[in-house]
Amino acid sequence: MIFKNEASEILRKDPRKVTAGEAHDIYKIFYDKSRESPCF
């Protein structure tokens, strides 16, 4: 699965080492998830 293989890998990185592209991806996934999850 994409999340397990890649997203979780990036999310475990040291924040100082995240690239602009990875930052964009993290934000985008979070943004989409927060909109499809009214239960939290």
Partner 1 sequence: MKKLNPTVGGDKQFETLNDAFDAWYDAVWKRVRQGAKDGNFLYTVPLSAYSMLKAKRYIRNVLKELPDYKLFVPMQEKDIETVSFDISQKWGNEEIASDRYGAVRLNINFDDLCLFSCTDRAGVVLSWMRWKKEDPYEYEYLISYTPPKCYGIVGKLEYLAEKGVLPVGMMTDSLDRSYIAFHEKDRDIVTRVMSIPDEMIEDGTSVIKNAYDERALIKSIQKSIETSKSFVAVFVQSVMKRREEPDDSWLEIER
In the structure encoding, which two tokens stand for residue 16, read together? 């100082």
Site residue total, partner 1 (CB under 8 A):
36
* Per-residue interface string for the shown chain with partner 1, residues 1-40, x marking contact by CB under 8 A: xxxx-xxx-xxx-xxx-xxxxxxxxxxxxxxxxxxxxxxx
Shortest distance, position 13 Cβ to partner 1, whole Å: 9
How far is Cα 25 from Cα 38, in angstroms, rounded to an integer? 21
Picking from 39, 38, 6, the residue whose alpha carbon sits closest to that of residue 25 is 6
Provide the binding-site residues for partner 1, judged by CB under 8 A.
Answer: 1-4, 6-8, 10-12, 14-16, 18-40
